[in-house]
A and B are shown apart, each in its own frame.
Chain A
Amino acid sequence: MRGSSLAVLVPAWNEEATVADVVSKIREVGPYDVIVINDASTDQTADRADAAGAKVLNLPVNLGAWGATQTGIRFALKKGYHQVITMDADGQHLSSAIPHLLAPIAAQKADVVIGSCTERGSHARKLAWRFFRGMTGLEIEDLTSGFRAYDLPAMKMLASKKATLLEYQDIGVLLLLMNSGLRIQELKVPMSLRLSGSSKIFSSWFKVAEYLLLTLILCTSHFMKSKPCSYVSTRGTL
C-alpha cells in the first residue's frame, strides 16, 4: 500500500556514489515513496537505490534525464499518485525543501513549482538563460532546474506523447506546460554542490553547443506559439 499520494522521482544514470544518500535523505523528510528511474546505468546505481529503500524502475536503454523522468511520471500516474517531485540523483537538491515545493500546490496556487537556484549558474549560463527567456516569454529565472513539483494535471500533460520527444527537462517542458495554461511558480531554494562527478548534460563543450543549438531551434519553433499571458509565474524565497 502507498504511504502518501506523493512520489519523489529520481532519474539516475551512473550515480552509485550518491543515489543511496539522496534516497535516505528524502525518506528522512517524510513518508514519501521514492522511485529511482535507473537510466540504463552501467554501475551499481540500481542496487544501491534498492538497498536504500527506493522502488527502482530499470530502463533497458538510456533515454536521457527527461526520458527517465517521464517514465517515472507515467508510472506514478498508473499507481494513482496525485503529485510528484523530481530531483537529481547527484545530491544537489536538498530534500528538506520538498514540503516547501508542495505548499503552493496544496494551496491550489500553482500546478508546477520550480525549486530554483540561479546562484549556481556561471555568467555564460545566465546569459543563455536571459536570451532564451526573451525568446520564449518564460518569466522563470532558473530554466534548467530539475527540482520541481507537479500536480495531477501537469503530470497528465507531461506523460502524454506530446512530451516524449523532448530532450531535456527544461524549456521544452516549460513551454508545453505554459501553452497548456498550467500555472508555474518559482521558489528560490538552497542547493548544495554536486557531491560527485560532473554534469551529464554538459559533459563537454560539444554537448553545451549541441544543447544551445537545439534549445535555440526549439525556442524559435515556439516563438509564435508562446502565450505568456496565459500563465501565472510568481516567485518566492525559502
Chain B
Amino acid sequence: MKPLLSYQSTTAIIGLMIAVVILFLIRRDILHIKRSLWWIGIALLIVLMGFFPLQFAKFGVLLGVNYPPILILTVGMGFVLIKILSMDLERSRQERTLRRLTQKLAMLEGFQKESKAVEKIELRTKDEKLNDTNNH
C-alpha cells in the first residue's frame, strides 16, 4: 500500500500540531506563558526533524548510533524526563508558597480573633464606666 504522506510530512505535521495546541492553550489562559517556551521549542525541533531527517541521521552516525532514528527517541526521552523534573521542581515551589499562605491565613485569623476580644473588653469597660457615671 502506498503511503499517503512521507514521514517528513508526518513529523512536520505533528510538530506544527503541538505548536498550535500550545498557542491555543496560552490563548485560553490555561497554560502559563512561562511554561510554553519549552513546548514550543520541542515542537520546532520536531518540525526540523521532519524537514531535515538526513542531517539528524548523519548526526546519529557521528555519535556512533547504528540505527539513527533511535537517537531521536533517546534524546526525546531525555527531554521529557528533564521536563517532568522541572515540573516537580515548580510544584515543590508552589507547595511551599501554598503552605506558607495557609499558615499565614491561620495566623491572621488568630490575630483578628485576639483584637476582637480586646475590643470587646474595652467596650465592656467603657460601658461600665458610663454606668458608674450615670449612677453618680
Contacts and interface: CB of A to CB of B under 8 A. Distances in A.
Interface of A: 37, 55-61, 63, 67, 70-71, 74-75, 78, 161, 164-165
A58 B103 CA distance: 9
A67 to B, nearest CB: 6
B99 A164 contact: yes
Contacts of B92: 165
B76 to A, nearest CB: 28
A61 B100 contact: no
Given A60-B105, A60-B106, A71-B106, A55 B99 contact: no
A63 to B, nearest CB: 6
Contact of B109 (A57, A70, A161, A165): A57
Contacts of A161: 96, 100
Contact of B99 (A57, A58, A63, A78): A63
Given A60-B102, A164-B99, A71 B107 contact: yes
Interface of B: 92, 95-96, 99-100, 102-107, 109-111, 113-114
14 contacts: A37-B106, A57-B109, A58-B106, A60-B102, A60-B105, A60-B106, A63-B99, A67-B99, A67-B102, A71-B103, A74-B104, A75-B107, A75-B110, A164-B99
A164 B102 contact: no
Contacts of A37: 106
A208 B109 CA distance: 34
B102 A78 contact: no
B102 A59 contact: yes
Contact of A63 (B102, B110, B114): B102
A78 B107 contact: yes
Contacts of B103: 59, 63, 67, 70-71, 74
| 8 cross-chain pairs, A with B, having the tightest CB-CB distances, nearest first | A71-B103, A57-B106, A57-B110, A59-B106, A75-B107, A164-B96, A164-B99, A71-B106
Contact of A74 (B95, B107, B114): B107
A55 B111 CA distance: 10
Given A61-B102, A63-B103, A71-B103, 8 more contacts: A55-B110, A57-B109, A67-B102, A67-B103, A71-B102, A74-B103, A78-B111, A165-B95
A58 B100 CA distance: 14
Contacts of B100: 161, 164
Contacts of B111: 78
Contacts of A165: 92, 95-96, 99
Nearest to B92: A165
Contacts of B105: 59-60
A55 B114 contact: yes
A59 B103 CA distance: 7
B114 to A, nearest CB: 7
Nearest to B111: A78
A125 B25 CA distance: 50
A79 to B, nearest CB: 9
